[in-house]
Chains A and B, each alone.
Chain A
Amino acid sequence: MEDQSHLLPYARRSDFHVGRATELTGKRYVIYRIFEILPGLASWSTLIGVILMSIYLPFIAAYFIIAFALFWVLKTGFLSYHLRYNWKRLQHHIKLDWEALVAPMDYKDLYQVVILPFYTEPESVIEATLASLGNTKYDKSKLIVVLASEERAGEYAQQVLATMTAKWGNVFGAFLTTVHPMNVPGEMAGKGSNAAYAAEQVRVKILDPQGISYAKTLVSIFDIDTVLYPDYFNCLVWHFIKAENPLKSSFQPVPIFNNNMWEAPALARVVAMSSTFWEMVQQERPERMATFSSHSVSFQALYEVGYWQKNMVSEDSRIYWNLMLANDGKYDVIPLSYPVSMDANAAPTLWRTIVQIYKQHRRWTYGVENFCYILYHFLNQPKIPRRTRLKIALQQAEGYWSLVTNPIMLFILGWAPIFLGSAEFHQTVLSYNLPIVVRDLLILAMFGLVISSIISLSLIPPRPSDKSRLRYIVMALQWFLVPATMIFFSAIPGLDSQTRLMFGRYMGFWVTPKVRS
């Protein structure tokens, strides 16, 4: 049996790394299954409820829709306030000389492990990521870079490892290449299993032989298209040292999906930047944050929970919940408000871009599997205060529910009472005023997009010489696509994910293809 002595007590539970209900039996299975059904049931009930209410109680439905539209306006304003604030902070952090800030600190014995899992992404993408690592203002001898490949990627991956080792093998303190074996029982092919394997290889092959302390090692897991800003590690070190509980904290940069912003179509740009904005908003309310995409954490913390989960899709967020539960709720995410650049999801053709974005967002919104996990463990983890558990559960529930239902209710079902209501309703002033009031409120909410437009223009890379200045106008106006993108790349993939989970049709990990000219 695997040694579990290094794990925190709660992490030793057999169900600590549960990925889905089918991995459990008996009463535990039933409870977990109920939690898997819950999000989809709530979302579908809401949407069908609005339709039924429009038919049978059109007046109540109209009042509800007006109140909801007003709520949406205020919510947009509230989130825009956070976004604008984080934008200012982000700009400030980019300008700060973090090297000078950390210079007085004692961090010379701190090591940075960078795990870069990849599958079949082009060499140029991997090359750019390693080049950005090489350009960071940090002592390269303290950088341990792990290029983590998949055995199932075959010959191509081996060739990439050889090429990159030849070029970058001597640039960093250590350059480790790993090959995650395929078809390991109990594992799902995906980033989580690859990264966990790579982390263990680092421990066995580098940390332990060289006697490097786990507590003095920070692990950053980056998507393979992540391009670092020069001061990333200095910023990370500053926050790590200043953190109240550095070993009980994860560190979250702002993923800006702008590497290929000048090549990506408008649709991809809006969706990508919307994801960035959501993370920027979350940076200003860290109590609601879970780690997302690229992030950093101490090796000590990772080791105490057995690394990333290997049997599920959204390992990037799950690791936070693993850490939070295992540490009895005493675990934080610290927002860095410092960017890392990644690729907007774009393919060679518009249709393939649309399909890719849909699939990527379905994978992201499949993060709802974490909601089941949280609820299940909240029933079993009494050391976390009940009030905290309740608050987190409600926050997460509202998040997954509103993600799916809000855009559909606003932009489609808001008109339902007019089309489905009774003749009695149709002759009322309320029936005629409903679309006018909702339309006006949504126009008001669209002013939030002006802020989005301004901020997005400030986050794009410099204009390549072959791109027209007119593109700036297009980039400013592209935000009118938001209502459509909210429905087709947020609500519908979210509903898709929740429905799959509800019916036990579990998803696998879909790797987003990376294309960069």
Chain B
Amino acid sequence: MHPMLKSNIPTVQPLPRARRRFVFLTLFLFFVCAVPVFVFYATGYRYNFFDANATITATGGLYITVGGEEGEVYLNEERVRDMRMFRSAIYIQNLTPGMQHVHVQADGLHTWVKDLPVYPYIVTEAESFALPVVPQVRPIAKYLTATGTMVYPGVASGTKLFTGVSTTDTYILATSTATTTLTRNAEYDFVYALFATSTATSTLLNRVVGEVTSALARNNNDDKSTTTLATTTKISDDLVLSEQEGDIYVTYQGPKNDIPYYFCVPNAPLASTSALYGTHVMMSVASAMASEQVPQNSLAPTERTCRNSIKIDRQWQTVLDFDFFPSTTDLIVLHRADGISVVEVDDRAWQNTQMLYGKPVDELVINNGRLYARTGDIVFELLTELPTT
């Protein structure tokens, strides 16, 4: 009966206060018990109910950014059920601490492989990339027919201008060298001019930067630094790409808290760092700590140690030119003596290298996010994705 009324009619009475209190207390008790469970779960604690010797374990996770939507992620050779948080990233949780072998693969693309350590409560990040196995090129001929088809004059029919590559563009090989009936391809002229500008700038830059750096190095340092001689420098965001004694380095020069994750490793004995990430990482971390160029508690949170420089793997090849990959600073394009390769900056375990073009070219230039290469008079664009069908 309603406490304010003196009758039991009508038959449906307001919700009895005792029942309301019971429901409230039940929910309150549930809340008190459930909050720690939810918090521990979100923090990474797991309990396996199906294991006879089950104990509570602290788990970690992996966050793999997949370049392109079609890439499939495998963890320790087993395909990961698609749990994409966003269009191009997969979050794998409930992982017991230890090394995890990850690879990302897709038809027609290079496979990206990485050994990554998983720590309790921590999510290890990595960004995969996948370039076409068969280089995709777009020829840019000097001349066009009246209908706009590309023409290569003075080339015998049957000649293979582009071997070992794939292209969807059509072009004509003309035995005749006459060009009077043809029109000049404006794109060719534009791209060709880019090569000329690039060479002129590079030469001038090399000279100025080299001399200034050398002079500064001699004035300010008295030992090994004096040998440092940058031949050229590329800057993107807070990252500087430079050459030192034939090797290429990426150096971070930005705010402490914005340093890319792959510059840092969780604080641990150097032996452990070596085992997890490789000797090269251990040595650069040790170097960073010893030289105090990256003092702990300053450049990054106290839980990790960060270097500010990473060496790019050039696979013993001579590097003729280098630059950041279009629209990312996580990948480096190397113009090597044997072709054009793309290398990830992330050097944990190893750096994945994928050949973009497996033959020598004379010049490479990146303009407005496009990669152009030149071999003699042959100019073409290197495409980084498979054509969509």
Contacts and interface: CB of A to CB of B under 8 A. Distances in A.
Interface of A: 62-63, 66-67, 70-71, 74, 77-78, 81-82, 85-86, 88-89, 92-93, 96, 101, 239, 242-245, 249, 283-286, 332, 334-335, 337, 422-424, 427-437
Contacts of A77: 27
B303 interface: yes
Interface in B15-59: 15, 20, 23-24, 27, 30-31, 34-35, 38-39, 41-44, 59
B257 interface: yes
Interface of A is mostly: helix
Contacts of B180: none
Contact of A78 (B13, B27, B91, B257): B27
Nearest to B3: A244
B276 to A, nearest CB: 15
Contact of B122 (A70, A74, A429): A429
A93 B12 CA distance: 8
B139 interface: no
Interface of B is mostly: mixed
A88 B14 CA distance: 10
Given A433-B41, A437-B38, A423 B15 contact: no
B40 to A, nearest CB: 10
A432 B123 contact: yes
Given A67-B39, A92-B10, A437-B42, A423 B23 contact: no
Q: How large is the interface on B (under 10, 10 to 19, 20 to 34, 35 or more residues)?
A: 35 or more
A60 to B, nearest CB: 11
B81 interface: no
Nearest to A85: B15
Interface of B: 2-7, 9-15, 20, 23-24, 27, 30-31, 34-35, 38-39, 41-44, 59-61, 63, 85, 91, 93, 121-123, 125, 257-259, 261, 300-304
A82 B15 contact: yes
Contacts of B31: 70-71, 74
B4 A428 contact: no
Given A242-B6, A429-B121, A284 B39 contact: no
A137 B85 CA distance: 61
16 contacts: A66-B35, A66-B38, A67-B35, A70-B34, A70-B38, A85-B15, A89-B12, A89-B13, A101-B9, A242-B7, A243-B4, A335-B14, A424-B303, A428-B43, A429-B59, A429-B61
Given A71-B31, A424-B303, A433-B44, 19 more contacts: A74-B30, A74-B31, A82-B15, A85-B15, A92-B12, A101-B9, A244-B3, A244-B5, A286-B14, A334-B5, A424-B301, A427-B304, A428-B121, A430-B121, A431-B123, A432-B91, A433-B93, A434-B42, A437-B42
B5 A429 contact: no
B261 A427 contact: yes
Nearest to B125: A427
Nearest to B44: A429
The 3 closest A-B pairs by CB, nearest first: A424-B301, A429-B44, A433-B42
A88 B42 contact: no
A93 B123 contact: no
Contacts of A88: 12
Given A74-B30, A78-B27, A286 B4 contact: yes
Contacts of A332: 4
B82 to A, nearest CB: 15
Contacts of A101: 9-10
Query: Which one of A70, A77, A101, A239 has the greatest number of beta carbons of chain B within 10 Å?
Result: A70
Contacts of A62: 42
Nearest to B10: A96
A401 B34 CA distance: 24
Contacts of A430: 42-44, 121
Given A242-B7, A244-B4, A429 B20 contact: no
Contacts of A432: 61, 63, 85, 91, 93, 123
Nearest to A239: B5
A423 B301 contact: yes
